[in-house]
């Protein structure tokens, strides 16, 4: 067991998500005590002084923390903070298998929010690898943190993909799909077919087409010409040699089996509808397309308190046959969450 401990943990959240994170901590009955807070950055003290946090304490699947780190303390300059991370790496790697070199993730306070320092860091991360997180909150305020990479964690600094919306994208939803792909490590096979409810104007469609994935897009609203160039007038009965989009221009509730075919393997929804409606439509589509194995649903919340319905949402996904579920607020989300369900039998 790793013997790295600390009386403090820090969490990186979206601006405004510290409150719902504190609520989650209460709901789990962890007794962590909020300590220091800055927009998007919050520290917690362990429930009792004689039981400090360990690396295992970071394994709670919070919705509202994009990153949790053991807090190694606050330094007045970068070099001091780096030394804290180096020491933590030595004590963690002496007891953890196969961790390799420690990576460094850096974030900096930028006017009103915390941002990644480097936009283009795409260093590969392996499971079990130690990662130091350095958070620069001010000219003399450098916080140092440490965690181990795990399959369910984002590989990116602070859980932020640092993605830039392509100019041609019809909407910001391109970012939601691509951020989810990075955060969850999603994989699509070329030629796969996704059904997306609430697909207009087509940001998600563009991202999927760019990945070689075809889309049955359901939405009464118009698609942008950028994606219409890949549109087919009817559902292809045989595989084509290029990714395509079939626009099923109606509300989700009117979609029938003949609109979908039998080859759909992913369900996605980005409809402006309640979580209950999105899940109900997911269950209906699965009945019509039994080959669906995975689902990625953007849940639209009117209030973060709705996240308390998580057990109900997970239960309905289990009843649909999904075996793994994740609920996560991504860096690109405002009043939204990504609900990922995979491994459907
Ligand atoms: C946030 S936008 C979707 C953005 C889109 N995913 C993209 O990639 O550009 C929400 C969409 O949900 C659609 N919508 C709302 N209710 C719907 C329903 N019952 N069935 C299908 N689409 C619906 C709206 O017409 C709107 O285009």
Question: What's the CA-to-centroid distance between 167 and ligand 1, angstroms?
Answer: 21
User: Which atom number of ligand 1 is nearest to the Cα of residue 204?
Assistant: 8
Pick from 196, 198, 210 the residue to mutate for probing ligand 1's pocket: most ligand atoms within 8 Å of its CB: 198
Helical H segments across the chain, by residue range: 18-27, 78-93, 173-184, 203-210, 225-228, 275-288, 310-319
CATH of range 173-342; options 3.40.50.150, 3.30.930.10, 3.20.20.30, 3.40.980.10: 3.40.50.150
Q: For strand 103-110 and strand 130-138, is the pairing parallel, antiparallel, or unpaired? A: parallel
Contact partners, residue 7, CB within 8 Å, separation at least 6: 45, 46, 49, 52, 53
Contact 251 CB / ligand 1 (< 6 Å): yes
Which pLDDT belongs to residue 119?
62
Ligand 1 centroid distance, CA of 138 (Å): 41
The rounded Å distance from CA 159 to ligand 1 centre is 26
Nearest-CA residue for atom 5 of ligand 1: 199
> How many CB atoms sit inside 10 A of residue 162's CB?
18
Predicted pLDDT at 111: 84
Say yes or no: CB of residue 132 within 6 Å of ligand 1. Answer: no
Nearest CA to ligand 1 atom 26: 198
CB of residue 217 inside a 6 A radius of ligand 1: no
**How many CB atoms within 10 Å of residue 178?**
23
Topology annotation, domain 5-159: VC0802-like (3.30.2130)
CA 215–ligand 1 middle distance (angstroms):
14
CA distances in angstroms from 242 to 168, 224, 226, 230, listed in the order given: 20, 19, 16, 9
Domain ranges of the chain: 5-159, 173-342
Spell out, as residue ranges, where the chain has pLDDT lower than 70: 1-2, 93-100, 119-122
pLDDT at position 14 is 97
**245-248 sheet: strands from edge to edge:** 245-248, 214-218, 193-197, 264-269, 294-300, 336-342, 324-328
Give the pLDDT of residue 96.
47
Question: CA–CA separation, 188 vs 54, rounded Å?
Answer: 35
- pLDDT for res 63: 98
Is residue 200 in contact with ligand 1, taking CB distance under 6 Å?
A: yes
For 93-116, what is each residue's pLDDT tens digit?
Answer: 654 444 468 899 999 998 888 999
229 CB near ligand 1 (under 6 Å): no
Ligand 1: centre distance to CA 30 (Å):
38
Q: Are 179 and 332 in contact (CB under 8 A)?
A: yes
Ligand 1 atom nearest 170 alpha carbon: 9
Task: State the first-to-last Cα distance of the chain, in angstroms, to the nearest integer.
Answer: 35
Helix (H) or strand (E) holding 208: helix 203-210
CA 262–ligand 1 middle distance (angstroms): 23
* Residue that has been written with the tokens 């409810």 in this structure: 197
């Amino acid at each position: 067991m790793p013997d790295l401990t600390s009386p403090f943990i820090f969490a990186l959240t979206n601006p405004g998500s510290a409150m719902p994170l504190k609520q989650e901590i209460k709901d789990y009955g962890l007794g962590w005590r909020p300590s220091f807070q800055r927009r998007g950055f919050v520290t917690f003290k362990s429930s009792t002084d004689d039981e400090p946090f360990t690396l295992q304490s970071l394994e709670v699947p919070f919705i509202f923390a994009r990153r949790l780190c053991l807090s190694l303390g606050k330094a007045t300059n970068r070099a001091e903070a780096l030394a804290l991370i180096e020491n933590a790496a030595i004590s963690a790697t002496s007891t953890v298998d196969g961790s390799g070199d420690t990576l460094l993730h850096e974030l900096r306070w930028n006017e009103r929010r915390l941002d990644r320092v480097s936009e283009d860091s795409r260093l590969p991360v392996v499971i079990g690898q130690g990662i130091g997180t350095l958070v620069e909150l001010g000219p003399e305020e450098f916080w140092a943190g440490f965690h181990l990479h795990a399959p369910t964690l984002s590989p990116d600094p602070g859980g932020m993909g640092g993605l830039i919306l392509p100019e041609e994208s019809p909407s910001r939803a391109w970012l939601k799909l691509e951020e989810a792909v990075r955060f969850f490590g999603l994989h699509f096979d070329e030629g796969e077919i996704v059904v997306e409810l609430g697909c207009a104007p087509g940001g998600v469609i563009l991202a999927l087409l760019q990945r070689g994935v075809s889309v049955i897009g359901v939405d009464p609203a118009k698609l942008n010409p950028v994606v219409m160039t890949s549109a087919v007038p009817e559902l292809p009965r045989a595989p084509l040699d290029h990714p395509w989009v079939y626009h099923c221009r109606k509300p989700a509730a009117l979609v029938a089996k003949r609109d979908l075919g039998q080859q759909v393997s992913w369900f996605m929804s980005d409809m402006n509808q309640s979580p209950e409606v999105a899940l109900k439509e997911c269950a209906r589509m699965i009945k019509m397309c039994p080959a669906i194995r995975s689902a990625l649903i953007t849940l639209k919340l009117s209030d973060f308190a709705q996240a308390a319905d998580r057990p109900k949402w997970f239960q309905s996904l289990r009843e649909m046959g999904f075996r793994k579920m994740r609920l996560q607020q991504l860096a690109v989300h405002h009043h939204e969450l990504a609900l990922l369900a995979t491994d459907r039998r």
